[in-house]
Amino acid sequence: MLNAAGSSDHPRTAVVVGAGVVGLSTAWFLQEHGVEVTVVDRRGVAAGASWGNAGWLSPGLALPLNDPGVLRYGLRSLFDRTAPLHVPARIDPALWRFLLRFAARCTTSGWDRVARANLPLNVESLKAYDTLAAGGVDTHAVHAPITAAFENHDQAAVLTGEFDRLGDAGQDVSYQRLSAGELRDRLPQASDRLGEGVRLDGQRYIDPGGFAGALADSVRARGGVIREGFDVAGVRPHDQAVTLRSTESATVSAHVAVLAGGAWFSRLGRRFGIRVPVRAGRGYSFTVPTDEPVTGPMYLPGIRVACTPYQGALRVAGTMEFRRVDDALDPARIDAVVESARPLLNGVRWEERTDEWVGARPVTHDGKPIIGATNAPNVYAAGGHGMWGLTQGPATGRLLAEQIVTGKRPDALHEFDPLR
């Protein structure tokens, strides 16, 4: 049987563009099939969205972004810089076209379609992490429920309704409602403003930057090469190979190439028939000390803020900001997160924050990632996971590696066709 490299067996070499969790996972699982891999990145390991995110491995919260309620947040964002979803008012026709296409899919039926499409990735996500751990990757994953906290019952009912809809789509979601007292017993940081909670069981969390570093170390230990500072300027397919050229005219060739460059994805993807737009949905985070230890991850859905134990303190992550991928960190967005979370959490020393960070998450207009073959026979794509790249990245890598070495697309990847 002929594969994508045109030989009678699987490709022997691969180059992966992008040293984030998705790219490194794809490289690792290709190595499982005996493929020699080179990973190139314009900056370095976990230099994009893979470093400063909340670190949740949470298939139960990998909810479709195209929720009808997002439209309300979007309209508010045009006038309020503190809104969880922020769209700067500027002239950017491509961005507004993207947002209009996204808005058209913010319907109940659209949400259900994305939930069913993402189901295989969510179901396989934790199993893929277990495979990495069994293969020697130091994931240091902590098994812990994620506790969502709300000001009232109606707010809590919105989230539990989404959990029930995930269940209707076929995903196993186990949760328990918490009274105000039970919530404060679990989360000593919860203020009196928070009157109800929901405990989502069966989840995990990690140090995302530490995990990406461990994954890169494993790829190297198994014979892989990671070339940092390789900013791809061109990708040239041949009959049975692909050559990548950097902006400084360095080159690397392999039988197949995988485009996994995160929010920079569209720059290369358009050349290979990929018309699904990918925009940078930027998220912010920082670290703050707390008066009492943080017992586990907590989610504040009303303000779209995620909080995670991190190196003896609390990592606070939030916002979805549609700006240019390389724009500088906007201190006003950090201030907005602080001011929205301050009334809800006690014993947090907000003024002592460190590690202020912004990272660009790759968001597609239809809420589904881009995984699979392009219109060039030896060029593949893996990107567009939005907020769920950490959760779904290893499962993506495992499934895409299977497609590359067998020449057959797994059923789980059908909805993510890059040429859709």
Residue 175 has pLDDT above 90, yes or no: yes
Read off the pLDDT band of 77 (50, 70, 90).
low
Answer yes or no: is 217 within a domain.
yes
pLDDT in tens, 79-111: 566 677 777 767 788 888 998 999 999 999 999
Which CATH number belongs to the domain containing residue 372 in this structure? 3.50.50.60
Provide the residue type at 397 as one letter. Answer: G
Predicted confidence (pLDDT) per residue in 11-70, tens digit: 999 999 999 999 999 999 999 999 999 999 999 999 989 999 999 999 999 999 988 877
Please provide the average confidence, as pLDDT, over all residues in the chain.
Answer: 93
Strand partners, 85: 320
Whether 75 shows a pLDDT value over 70: the answer reads: no
22 belongs to a structural domain: yes
pLDDT at 7: 45
- How high is the pLDDT of residue 67? 86
Rounded Cα–Cα distance for residues 375 and 310 (Å): 42
Find the domain containing 36 and state its range: 13-416
Return the pLDDT at 62: 97
The confidence score (pLDDT) of residue 266 equals: 80
> What pLDDT, on a 0 to 100 scale, did the predictor assign at position 92?
83
Closest CA to 412 of 394, 399, 401, 393: 399
Taking alpha carbons only, the member of 353, 357, 355, 207 closest to residue 288 is: 353
**From CA 140, how far away is CA 161, in angstroms rounded?**
32
Domain total for the chain?
1
pLDDT of residue 114: 96
Q: Which residue has the higher pLDDT, 291 or 4?
A: 291
Q: What's the one-letter identity of residue 148?
A: A
Query: What would the mean pLDDT of 299-319 be, rounded to a whole number?
Result: 96
Q: Is residue 2 part of a domain?
A: no
158 pLDDT higher than 90: yes
Per residue, what are the HEC states of the chain? CCCCCCCCCCCCEEEEECCCHHHHHHHHHHHHCCCEEEEEECCCCCCCCCCCCCCEECHHHCCCCCCHHHHHHHHHHCCCCCCCEECCCCCCHHHHHHHHHHHHCCCHHHHHHHHHHHHHHHHHHHHHHHHHHHCCCCCCCEECCEEEEECCHHHHHHHHHHHHHHHHHCCCCCEEEECHHHHHHHCCCECCCCCEEEEECCCEECCHHHHHHHHHHHHHHCCCEEEECCCEEEEEECCCCEEEEECCCCEEEECEEEECCHHHHHHHHHHHCCCCCEEEEEEEEEEECECCCCCCCEEEHHHCEEEEEECCEEEEEEEEEECCCCCCCCHHHHHHHHHHHHHHECCECHHHCEEEEEEEEEEECCCCCEEEECCCCCEEEEECCHHHHHHHHHHHHHHHHHHHHHCCCCHHHHHHCCCC
The answer to whether residue 351 sits within a structural domain is yes
Q: Which of 7-16, 98-107, 227-236, 304-313 has the lowest mean pLDDT?
A: 7-16
Indicate whether 163 belongs to any domain: yes
For residue 217, give both structure tokens: 């170390």
Closest CA to 388 of 29, 27, 100, 49: 49
Residue type, 214: A
pLDDT of residue 4: 43
Residue 1 within any structural domain of the chain: no
Query: Across residues 384-388, what is the average pLDDT?
Result: 96
Q: Are 128 and 397 in contact (CB under 8 A)?
A: yes
Phi, psi of 223 (to 5 degrees): 100, 0
Res. 219: pLDDT tops 70:
yes
Q: What is residue 80's predicted lDDT score, i.e. its pLDDT?
A: 63
Q: How far is CA 83 from each of CA 44, 250, 303, 307, 319, rounded to the nearest angstrom?
A: 32, 43, 8, 18, 8
pLDDT in tens, 350-379: 999 999 999 999 999 999 999 999 999 899
Does any domain span residue 6? no
% of the chain beyond a pLDDT of 90: 84
| Any domain includes 183 | yes
